[in-house]
Amino acid sequence: MGFMPPSPQRSVSLFVGSISGGIDDDFLNRLLSACGPVRSFKRLITPANKPQGFGFAEYEDLDSAIRAIDMLTGIELPALEDMCANKKLLVKADEKTKTMLDAHKSSRISTDQEEERTKDAKARIDELVTEINNVSQKAIDEGRLEKEKGDLPENQRGLVISEIAQFRERAAKREREKMRDMKPAAPAPSGPKVREWGKPQNTQASPPLPGNGAQRGFGNGAQGYQKPVPFVKAESETRDDRALPGKSNKTDLQLEEERQEARRRDEEASFRDRERRYEPRERNKMTALERGIARERATRDAEERDRKEIRMRLDIWDDDESDELFYMDRARWRHARARRLEAEEAADAKSRAYEEEEAENLRRESEDFLARQMDEMQALAEEQRKAGLLLDDGAPVRLNVALPAGGQHKEGPKEKATVFGQEEEEEEAAKRRKVPLVKLDFSVTETTEKAQERLEKIRTEVPTDKDTLFKRKVRWDGVTETMIDRKMEPLIKRLMIKYLGEMEEEDLIMFVLEHLKDHKAPKQLIEGLEPVLEEEAIELTVSVWRQLIFESMAYSDGLLTGDMYVDAE
């Protein structure tokens, strides 16, 4: 059976990354819809309720997905947030989807209708890009937007990253508290107390009838069945009176306005908190800068005063009237200079003698150390020789040559045999002399080999089962941020390329690195990666967590893993 191209009506999910800061979902939906019908667009949200720089778009047909990849990839979108740089949009598919799209693209027939759709999509995309560029330029002209001027200095980058992490933690905590406060209260208990929901009435009960009619609920009383219940009000009033405790009667618009107001208050409080912490630091920087400027100004003023004073002295200088010792008493000046030179030479001789003494002490210490090493090596060699592990190189070989006392000429064959036996013994002695000697200085090599063997053993002991692996405790004191940046980042990037292909956007990698630096659980990492990697999020988390457990086990044993990874590259 021949190859049948897939149906163009099949939905396709594409990865949309490198989204500039401030670009909202509404504009992205319009931009993606310009290439074809979009079924859904999902974008990850940070704990601080801020959208990430990547997401997933699901198109209803293959042709729309192909147009999105060809026409949207590389489009530069302006940043609508302060201190953010413009980014080029990235739209791509995974390997399976890419193979399917390539097969469909090679099998479809180009038609005038398809060319017209492509032309309309190109015009619509250009229109949207021009619109967002105008919005960005207008914000810049009005001073509401400030573009990124460059990277932070190295001495401030770690501080800013830690402040951002603390801000996210506080925002997440406030969000959890707010959600906990918004939970509805327990419903009112059923039974007779339900009658208390109505407002108290001023209607007076009619006189009780004799017999059982005087009981509550019978007869013509206030709660009797002979006439309508008097506390039933109009529809709006009844709905207000019977509102359950813990539930609000506000409209969705009012609730959204309250949420926006609460968010604005949280942002204002966060801004005040940052301002409170940053203001003393900036004030100290300004004070230090002012002190430095004052020192430079004082130095310049002193140099200028000295310059003016020397210039004035040189203008009125006269050798005959000078009070300098060089001009007044030349012999006395020479005597003073000689004494200064003698003092300097004495100081130099003292310094040279001290240096020679230090060199001699160092030489003696080196000789003593080498002598101790030689004694230790000889003692070790003697122990190995006694144990039979070391042979004396060049030891005399005993030859067992037994010739008869007389008749040497008569016993020719026996003499030849004896000579052959002598040659064999010489060969055996040479073989014994060529036996490789045991290295004496093998402490470093032995330690390195033992450490490597222990690391290999630890690597085989790292669990591969997901449940067992996630139950193991990570030694975060051994997994430092420096190690995460130096060793875990290349591993995570390699895994991302494996599952998503070549990618220019590093927001997903930074998301995983920040998760590790915050010492969060692996299940939270899987939940954060599932919208992007789907079922492959578990495989990536398992690979990352195996490396963390390997580093923790090695740290517990006092070993350094170096560039060793638990999984072969």
Rg (CA), the chain: 45
Q: What is the mean pLDDT of residues 223-231?
A: 50
Q: In the structure, what pLDDT confidence band is assigned to residue 397 with cuts at 50, 70 and 90? A: very low
Count the alpha carbons within 13 Å of 13 in the hemisphere toward its beta carbon: 14
Is the pLDDT at 402 greater than 50? The verdict is: no
Return the minimum-mean-pLDDT range out of 29-43, 205-219, 283-297, 520-534: 205-219
Q: Bigger pLDDT: 505 or 377?
A: 377
Q: What is the mean pLDDT of residues 540-566?
A: 86
Of the ranges 21-25, 234-238, 400-404, 505-509, which is most confident? 21-25
Q: In the structure, what pLDDT confidence band is assigned to residue 414 with cuts at 50, 70 and 90? A: very low
Enumerate residues 6+ apart whose C-beta is below 8 A from 437: 390, 391, 393
pLDDT at 394: 43
Is the pLDDT at 187 greater than 80? The verdict is: no
Tell me which amino acid residue 351 is: S
Q: How far apart are CA 445 and CA 535, in angstroms?
A: 45
- Give the H or E element holding residue 91: strand 90-92
Q: How far apart are CA 304 and CA 446, in angstroms?
A: 68
Is the pLDDT at 369 greater than 60? The verdict is: yes
Residue 130, phi then psi, degrees to nearest 5: -60, -40
Q: How far apart are CA 416 and CA 441, in angstroms?
A: 47
Return the minimum-mean-pLDDT range out of 285-289, 359-363, 386-390, 402-406: 402-406
For residue 54, the 8-state DSSP code is: E
- Summarize pLDDT for 60-70 with one digit per residue, the tens: 888 888 888 88
Return the minimum-mean-pLDDT range out of 114-128, 185-199, 357-371, 490-504: 185-199
What's the mean per-residue pLDDT of the chain?
76
Q: Which long-range contacts (CB under 8 A, 24 or more apart) does 244-251 make?
A: 244/187, 244/188, 245/185, 245/187, 245/188, 246/184, 246/185, 246/186, 246/187, 247/184
- Summarize pLDDT for 73-127 with one digit per residue, the tens: 888 888 887 767 788 888 888 888 888 888 888 888 878 888 888 888 889 899 8
Evaluate if pTM is beyond 0.75. no
Minimal CA–CA distance to 58: which of 462, 486, 424, 531? 531
pLDDT at 413: 44
55, 13 Cβ separation under 8 angstroms: no
Return the minimum-mean-pLDDT range out of 230-244, 382-396, 489-503: 230-244
pLDDT at 349: 94
Query: What fold characterizes domain 12-141?
Result: Alpha-Beta Plaits (3.30.70)
The three-state secondary structure class of 9 is coil
The DSSP result for 356-422, as a single string, is HHHHHHHHHHHHHHHHHHHHHHHHHHHHHHHTTS---TTPPPPP-----SS-TTT-HHHHHHHHHHH
- Summarize pLDDT for 244-267 with one digit per residue, the tens: 455 557 788 888 889 899 999 988
The β-bridge partners of 17 are: 90
Is the pLDDT at 338 greater than 90? The verdict is: yes
Q: Bigger pLDDT: 58 or 502?
A: 58
Which token pair is 318? Answer: 């006269």
Distances (CA, A) of 292 to 287, 301, 304: 9, 14, 18
Q: In the structure, what pLDDT confidence band is assigned to residue 523 with cuts at 50, 70 and 90? A: confident
Which CATH code of 3.40.720.10, 3.30.479.30, 3.60.20.10, 1.20.1390.10 fits the domain covering 444-556?
1.20.1390.10
pLDDT at 304: 93
Is the pLDDT at 323 greater than 50? The verdict is: yes
Q: If you search the block for the tokens 């980042």, which residue do you land on?
A: 489
16, 55 Cβ separation under 8 angstroms: yes
pLDDT at 157: 60
The β-bridge partners of 189 are: none
Is the pLDDT at 212 greater than 50? The verdict is: no
Is the pLDDT at 335 greater than 50? The verdict is: yes
Return the minimum-mean-pLDDT range out of 36-50, 67-81, 155-169, 270-284: 155-169
Enumerate residues 6+ apart whose C-beta is below 8 A from 29: 38, 41
Q: In the structure, what pLDDT confidence band is assigned to residue 147 with cuts at 50, 70 and 90? A: low
Angle CA 343–345–348, to nearest 5: 110
Minimal CA–CA distance to 6: which of 102, 90, 91? 102
Enumerate residues 6+ apart whose C-beta is below 8 A from 282: none
Burial (CB count <10 Å: 0-12, 13-18, 19+), residue 445: exposed
Which token pair is 215? Answer: 């009981």
Q: How far apart are CA 91 and CA 67, in angstroms?
A: 10
Domain boundaries, given as residue ranges, for the chain: 12-141, 268-317, 329-380, 391-402+411-436, 444-556
Which token pair is 312? Answer: 């004035």
Is the pLDDT at 441 greater than 80? The verdict is: no
pLDDT at 395: 46
Percent of the chain with pLDDT over 70: 72
Which token pair is 466? Answer: 């997901």
pLDDT at 329: 83
Is the pLDDT at 237 greater than 80? The verdict is: no
375, 383 Cβ separation under 8 angstroms: no
